Amino acid sequence: MNGASFWTPLFGAWLLALLATAGALFLGEVMGLTPCVLCWYQRIAMFPLVPILGLGLLYGDARCIRYALPLAAAGWAIALYHGLVFWGVVDAALVPCGPGPSCAAAERQRLGAVPIPLLSLVAFTGIGLLLWAARRKEAS
C-alpha cells in the first residue's frame, strides 16, 4: 500500500484550481472583463484552493483535503446558481447584483462559444470529485 495514494487525485484537483485561477485572472486582468458579483464569490472560493492544495501536495499532508472541501462545495453551489441565472432558469431580478456588470449578461460572459459560468461549474465539479477520490484513497 502506497503511503501517499491520495497524491494523484489531489494533484489533479490542485492543477484544476491552478488553471481556473490563472484563467480567471487572465479574463479579468488581461482581457479586461470586469467580474460580476457572483464571479467574485466563485473567485473567493477558488483562489485559496491553490495554496491550500499546493502546500498539502508539497508536504504530503492529506488533511488539506478536509480544509479544501468546504471551499470547493461553496464554490460549486455558487457556480451552479450562476449557471441557473445565466441560462435564465432563475429570474435575474433575484440576483444580488450591486454595482458592476450584470451576472446574467450573456454576451459578456462567453469565451468564444463557451459560457464562463459553465467553465467555473466544470472546474468546481472536477475539483470536488477529485478531492472526494483523494479522501477515499486516504481513508482506505
* Site of interaction with other proteins (CB under 8 A): 4, 7, 11, 14-15, 18-19, 22, 25-26, 29-32, 54, 57-58, 60, 99
CB of residue 99 to other proteins, shortest distance in Å: 6
Backbone angles phi, psi at 50, to 5 degrees: -65, -55
Cβ proximity to other proteins, 30 vs 94, nearer residue: 30
Burial 34-56 (b: 16+ CB within 10 A, else e): ebbbbbebbbebbbbbbebbbeb
CB of residue 20 to other proteins, shortest distance in Å: 11
CB of residue 23 to other proteins, shortest distance in Å: 9
